[in-house]
Amino acid sequence: MPLYRHRPAFDPVAAALAHPSIAVACVLLAAAVVELPRLSLWTRDYGSVLVYMALALYCAVAVALLRWGWRTHRLLAEKTLGANADRWEQACLR
């Protein structure tokens, strides 16, 4: 079994949605954190299993959207910056 990670194909049309998807995912996760105090009210009204499953699904979708946006952003950076993208990103993170 190879030890390298699969690199997804780059889609330039979808790459335009990378930054908006990161912003939307951050807003979704912030909204989930803001609504946590109301969780007990919802569990009392609708049942704990339904509410916690809906919260888990909601957070999973938000994290998947954030991950897709971040990976697409990185692929876009690699395509635009070429072979120096990793060195440029490491320099920015320092």
pLDDT band of 14, cuts 50, 70, 90: confident
φ/ψ (deg, to 5) at 55:
-65, -40
Residue 55 lies in a domain: yes
pLDDT of residue 20: 94
Residue 54 lies in a domain: yes
Does some domain include residue 42? yes
Report the pLDDT value the prediction gives residue 6, as an integer from 0 to 100.
63
Q: Report CA-CA distances (Å) from 17 to 11, 32, 52, 85.
A: 10, 22, 30, 20
Model pLDDT for residues 26-66, shown as the tens digit of each residue? 999 999 999 999 999 999 999 999 999 999 999 999 999 99
**Residues spanned by the domain of 43:** 17-93
Has residue 12 been placed in a domain? no
N residues, the chain:
94
Average confidence (pLDDT) over 78-90: 62
Instruction: Please tell me whether the overall predicted TM-score, pTM, comes out greater than 0.95 for this model.
Output: no
In a domain, 32, yes or no: yes
pLDDT at 81 over 70: no
* Residue 81 covered by a domain: yes
Residue 1 lies in a domain: no
Q: According to the model, what pLDDT value does residue 77 have?
A: 75
Structural domain count, the chain? 1
